[in-house]
A and B are shown apart, each in its own frame.
Chain A
Amino acid sequence: MKALEIKGLKKSFRSNFLIKKFHILKGIDLEVEKGEIYGFLGPNGAGKTTTIKCIMGLLSPDAGEVLIDGEPAATVKARQRIGFLPENPYFYDYLTAREFLLFSASLFNIPEKEARDKVAALIHRVGLSGHEDLKLRKFSKGMIQRLGLAQALVNDPDLLILDEPFSGLDPVGRKDLRTLILSLREQGKTVFFSSHILQDMELMVDRVGIILDGAIRRQGRLSEMIAHSTQYHEVVCDRISEKALARIQANFALRDGQFILTLASDADVNLVVESIIHNSGRILAVHPVKMTLEDIFFSEMTGGSYGVPTSRSNGTGEPRRPATGGKP
């Protein structure tokens, strides 16, 4: 049985005057296995939050179904075993962190005494120790995000649904969150989360689903997606002859006086290296480059198949094709 299963989910919104219908979700199909970390990836406005709201029953779908452990999701009973972190959460600003978590626990009918211990442990777990009695109106964005995570864990859920859990977190916070999500998997929990931050996703997800314009474009194991994707080689040198360049199928770029050659076929590597040495050039680096999640993501977005990128992103993580946009 799947931890979460969405079949043919459709949702449209009407404009203010009830005239025009905007089809936002055009038939989402996805499955999340028990005990895995599932990354829900898509550009702004693709429909991630809308899908998640349909899972939580905050929106009612036009068509399709959402099943959790094989049962309809939008029921009180199903929510007993789910933890949910909304996008850009906001909590009652007149409560303290501890009061808010106790309130959350009370909605699960957790006995007062047990709830107190649990809340204390959770505050520690999300790194909010020392702030438990601070009013939430004095919380920073990152602290709210951490608190949001704590409230999602208060019932020790089997399935976590997190809408952009990484947003608003600094690098330390992001690392903490990754560690936390991985530890949840170790405990046998299922985590379904949406994010824009590809690096964070790449470091931990088992499977990804890429949503574009209200439909799932690709779904699968991240390891398989990356392994099946084309590899290419990059050779960096300080000098290469025109003749050698003409003979090989390579894109090249010149940066800081270094040639960066991108080779589609690994057979070319030896050839290039030989001719560089032959011309008394110096080899600075040779590395095979695997497709990253980012490459897969962008190739889906531009509708192209993957090929050898014409120029590599320079390691700062900035997108190669800025026109497509995406939250940094």
Chain B
Amino acid sequence: MKPGIKGIAVNTFRESARNKMFYLLVFFGILFALSSKLVSFLTLGDAMKVLKDTGLAAINFFCVLIAVFTGINLVYKEIERKTVFNILSKPVSRDEFIVGKFLGLALTMLTALGAMAVIFFAFVALNGGGFDLGILLYFFMLYLELLVIVAVSLLFSSFTTPILAFIFTVSLYLIGHVMWTYNEFKNYLAIPLWRIFTQALYYLLPNLAKFNIKNEVVLGTALDPWSILFSVLYALAYVLALLALTVLIFRRREFQ
């Protein structure tokens, strides 16, 4: 790896790791995941299923929150505070800067998710559940989704303010989770041009629902390995495309 990329990635990770907000969100993620125990008392049905269902949902929610918040701030803050001058005046290209930032964020998310996952596994075991390979797979898929979210927020962060970047990223996240409904109503669209337009959007926007395999994991239904493999490739391609776009924007940027 280029030394610049590594240095920037490590420093980005260090920035998150020294941020109180980061620990607070990880802490709340764990707290809410553990409180699934309470929910399982209060609801009827298979207690273990409820515990996994709500626990994973809590972890998912807080990880997405961390991804969005760290992602939208990072590049913006470097430009706003002019710390970027120091990096770009060294033998580091702008491309390397963006890639380094992304890798640092990826490492941050790995740590956050990793901490929550380890505690959740221990928690499930304490409650009499065995090791569930499905849950590990769930976390893996969640991590892919987080990488896409981080890349999206990085893209917006490279040219807008954190508030706009937040709105854009969250919108894209929400859209990304209702995409599947599109295929069900597209046949009702009367005007062909509109249909082509929405079809194009369908392929362009991230289909994040693909990465959510919670129902399958909790209910124990079979997962299609091909569809998993496809999701992995989809995430990689999507992240690479987003990074390429970010780099193109960032290369043209001026620092005033």
Residues of A within 8 A of B (CB): 13, 53, 56-60, 76-77, 79-80, 82, 84, 86, 88-92, 94-95, 99, 103-104, 106-109, 151, 155
Contact = CB atoms under 8 A, between A and B. Distances in A.
Interface residues of B, number: 26
Contacts of B197: none
A107 B91 contact: yes
Given A86-B86, A94-B14, A106 B91 contact: no
B220 interface: no
Given A76-B93, A77-B91, A95 B85 contact: no
Interface string B46-89: 00000000000000000000000000000000000111011111
A296 B185 CA distance: 77
Nearest to A105: B7
A59 B4 CA distance: 21
A57 B88 CA distance: 8
Given A59-B254, A106-B6, A106-B7, A92 B15 contact: yes
A54 to B, nearest CB: 10
A155 B92 CA distance: 13
Interface of B: 3-4, 6-8, 10-11, 14-15, 18-19, 81-83, 85-93, 254-256
A108 B89 contact: no
Contacts of A59: 254-256
A109 B92 CA distance: 10
Contacts of A58: 85, 88-89, 254-255
Contacts of B3: 106-109
A155 B3 CA distance: 14
From B10, B89, B256, residue with most partner A Cβ within 10 Å: B89
A57 B14 CA distance: 27
Contacts of A103: 7, 10-11
Given A59-B256, A106-B3, A90 B91 contact: no
